[in-house]
Chain A
């Protein structure tokens, strides 16, 4: 167990809908990262937050947004969902934000868009 908790584990929804994925980092970790794993694109970095602030952006679509709350949990919001958004979404956390930090991954949320 990595200590990173993601909910829900599975999510099934329809095209055009909006969903929210939740991540609780390990105790004491201030950084949260979101990754998407799909058959087409593989594993891609989406966005990073550190202590409530956005710090780095990867290949995140404009329809997607994220935030980190004062209690350090993070939410990834996906809107106007398309079939191609079906993927496994991972959250990872680290104590700090430098590249030397070790990342701990959650078990992911499997999103199916029908």
Chain B
């Protein structure tokens, strides 16, 4: 079974600064997807960024980028120019790419990192 570990229960950063959230995972599969989800106080789960394991290039979405190290099974999220609206719980998630036509497994989530933005 796959596991996802987020070792930072809470992180704090000054507004406009850069912060990096860590995530490691364990899997024996070679093809999979990795995600970062944001959960603000509204509780809505919002997809921040997605990485496909077979792509070596790190994904970027505006101020959000990842550092994907497949051999180390590491997938960190960098948030540049932090804004007050970035304050939320951030979850790292894994999904197997295996699909036999009989359904695909759901996401496996880490425990989350609570990101605080200091004004």
A residues lining the B interface (CB < 8 Å): 2, 33, 35, 42-46, 48, 50, 54-56, 58, 88, 90, 92, 97-103, 105, 107-108, 110
B residues lining the A interface (CB < 8 Å): 33, 42-47, 50, 91, 93, 95-99, 102-112
* Pick from B42, B45, B99, B111: contact of A99, CB under 8 Å: B99
Q: Using Cβ atoms and an 8 Å threshold, which residues of chain B touch A54?
A: 103
Q: A98 and B42: CB pair below 8 A?
A: no
Nearest to B31 among chain A residues (CB) is A99
A55 CA to B100 CA, complexed, in Å: 11
* Pick from A42, A45, A97, A99: contact of B112, CB under 8 Å: A42
Q: A45 and B106: CB pair below 8 A?
A: yes
* Pick from A44, A97, A108: contact of B103, CB under 8 Å: A97
Q: B112 and A105: CB pair below 8 A?
A: no
Nearest to B111 among chain A residues (CB) is A42
A9 CA to B112 CA, complexed, in Å: 23
